[in-house]
A and B are shown apart, each in its own frame.
Chain A
Amino acid sequence: MRAEDILNFSIRASTGYKFRTFLILIAMAIGVASVVVLTSLGEGARQYVTSQFSSLGTNLLIVLPGRSETTGGPPPLLGETPRDLTLDDAIALKRSSAIRLISPISVGSAPVSWKQLEREVIIVGSTSELYEVRHLSMSLGRFLPSGDHRRGEALCVLGNKVKKELFANQSPLGEWVRIGDRRFRVTGVLAKKGQSLGFDMSDVVIIPVASAQSLFNTASLFRVLVQASSREAIPRAREAILKTIRERHDGEDDITIITQDAILSTFDRILNTLTLTVAGIAAISLAVAGILIMNVMLIAVSQRTTEIGLIKAIGATRRQIMHLFLAEAIILSITGAFLGLVVAFGGVLLLTRILPNFPIVIPFWALATAVGISLLTGLVFGVFPAQRAAKLDPVQALSRR
């Protein structure tokens, strides 16, 4: 029997029994649509988190004073206090070719005042590089100027919220604010930006790192942000940091390096698992569709018993009857899957309207898997009814009217 004739015969048979066909199509469409929509949501969540993390800065390594368990090696000796991570340590890191930018950070809290208004604010001491490393942007004025990190100029950049509370609608540019017991001239205001590495960046004041160190009277840095020269350079940058600090700290590995990639890949793993779980749950609806297909095809076989007997009498082999019924199940599955995809695309379109900020994308693999699984479902659940049809005894089948 020619393939096109098998196809044609099966299509005619499916359109001949409209209600049954309708049922199968609906079941399959729901299954496929739920797989696609749910995986799209999962994938969207993953991309959302990834993009949030990337907005912290690309190819970022964070150097913290003190060794944590995660850096490996023997545990620190009892009573050992980690050496301070100093500004000179940070500046020394710049020598590596794997490192593009460094941004030392010193953090403290101090009262900030302008005229009569005063607030306790988190003071971030850093350098001009912070702007790039952390993907900051300005709403007014300029960020800290580049220059010698050891020079503590009396300049500051206000977070958005701090500016609002102290200056309301007036322009703070060029004004002198008092931080602790010193005076700083405002050079700029940060644009609104959300949480970043645990700080609300709109509720900080940024001053040169050297000024912050003298303000808080400490030589130690809170951490050093390092931007590797490329994604591939991250491991080399890590090695360079460890080596440089070890040399400067008398052979001690007393720092911790967190790479953003490590955090990201953890989240990536978690969210991938989530997506797969959700997809798995949705796949159950495909299995339900499969069982429905099986039942409906079994009904079809008993409805068409005499027809099967007849085509056996005119010379159809078991194989041919198998093929005819399998083809029918598969055609129904594929058509259902196609309808499901249409529904899924519609659903996703609707979701993007409802959640415009949430990136919902239909991953290609979800499409391929959904269609593949529906095909497989049709095949697997179509086999049993088709076998039943092929095994029918033609004499018995034909003895029915």
Chain B
Amino acid sequence: MIRLDSIERVFQVGNENVYALNNVSLKISQGEYISIMGPSGSGKSTLLNIIGLLDRPNKGFYILDDVNTTDLSDEQQALVRRHKIGFVFQFFHLVPRLTASENIELPLILAGMKPEKRKDRVKSALEDFRLTDRAKHRPDQLSGGQRQRVAIARATIMEPQVVLADEPTGNLDRASGKEVIEILEKLNKKGIILILVTHDPDIGNRAVRKISMVDGKILDDT
């Protein structure tokens, strides 16, 4: 369960204060499917980064599973990220020198899991995301859709509660974009909270709950 309470995120640009998030409050329950839409610069990414504990608000509380995350140290936040949150980015952010399966394995390595156990998990993830025949390929040998599938496999290998996807189709053609969305929706069906930032209304409207943002505020939440 996620609860944001009067979140404010202010950036100083020169002498001016830019309110990327202005008094945002939000409650999200287990297994919700949410899209966030809005013009560029409206604070969508900032909201996602705060929910993902990559960024800290200047004001307000963020409670994740009854824990006030604003009180946690950086190290503790890293551990919460590791176990509860999965990120999917527009630009995939795969490590270029590592193969597909090594990229997927990375969170397990950071968590200190034993190699035999890791191999099993990676193997079944490769199967789930139809990447088995691409396991040994490096990112530059994969198509955009395949790269994003690797990224999703990596985001979900630790079985997180929340998957945060910031314009995951922004760099893909329509067909692979659709495929990626379907994969994410399938994960949501299994009970993972899916929060999807997108420009594309066709994609955004598929969500059960649609949030639209303007100027760092939530305009609409249906």
Contacts and interface: CB of A to CB of B under 8 A. Distances in A.
Chain A bound to chain B: yes
Contacts of A314: 81-82, 86-87, 106-107, 110, 154-155, 158
Chain A interface mostly = helix
B148 to A, nearest CB: 14
A16 B110 contact: no
Contacts of A316: 78, 82, 110
Given A1-B112, A318-B74, A395-B55, A306 B93 contact: yes
Given A307-B95, A318-B75, A398-B89, A313 B52 contact: yes
Contacts of B78: 312, 315-318
Nearest to B114: A2
A353 interface: no
Contacts of A9: 109
Interface in A273-300: none
A306 B74 CA distance: 19
A320 interface: yes
A395 B109 contact: no
A309 B93 contact: yes
Interface string A378-401: 000000000000000011001001
Nearest to B81: A315
Given A1-B110, A5-B109, A315 B93 contact: no
Given A5-B109, A398-B89, A315 B55 contact: no
A398 to B, nearest CB: 6
B136 to A, nearest CB: 14
Contact of A315 (B79, B98, B114): B79
B95 A310 contact: yes
B98 A313 contact: no
Contacts of B81: 312-315
Contact of A16 (B86, B87, B97): B97
Given A9-B109, A315-B78, A316-B110, A395 B49 contact: yes
B91 A401 contact: yes
Nearest to A8: B109
B26 interface: no
Nearest to A401: B91
Interface residues of A, number: 25
Given A394-B54, A395-B54, A315 B110 contact: yes
A331 to B, nearest CB: 15
Contacts of B89: 398
B199 interface: no
A182 interface: no
Given A1-B109, A1-B112, A315 B75 contact: no
Nearest to A9: B109
Given A12-B98, A319-B75, A395-B49, A313 B87 contact: yes
B111 interface: yes
Contacts of A315: 78-79, 81-83, 107, 110-111, 158
A225 B195 CA distance: 98
Contacts of B83: 315
Contacts of A2: 109, 112, 114
Nearest to A400: B91
B111 A12 contact: no
Greatest chain B CB density within 10 A among A16, A310, A318 is at A310
Nearest to B49: A395
B80 to A, nearest CB: 8
Nearest to A1: B112
Greatest chain A CB density within 10 A among B55, B75, B82, B109 is at B109
B54 A312 contact: yes
A270 interface: no
B54 A313 contact: yes
B56 to A, nearest CB: 10
A193 to B, nearest CB: 67
Nearest to A6: B109
Contacts of A1: 109-112
Given A315-B78, A315-B83, A316-B78, A310 B93 contact: yes
Interface in A1-60: 1-2, 5, 9, 12-13, 16
Contacts of A312: 54, 78, 81
Contacts of B110: 1, 311, 314-316, 320
Contact of B75 (A317, A394, A401): A317
Contacts of B97: 12-13, 16
A209 B158 CA distance: 97
B93 A317 contact: no
Interface of A: 1-2, 5, 9, 12-13, 16, 306-307, 309-320, 394-395, 398, 401
6 contacts: A5-B109, A12-B98, A309-B93, A314-B107, A315-B78, A315-B83
Given A314-B81, A315-B158, A401-B91, 15 more contacts: A2-B109, A5-B109, A310-B93, A313-B52, A313-B54, A313-B87, A314-B86, A314-B87, A314-B107, A314-B110, A314-B158, A315-B78, A315-B79, A315-B81, A315-B111
The 6 closest A-B pairs by CB, nearest first: A315-B82, A16-B97, A317-B78, A310-B93, A314-B107, A315-B81
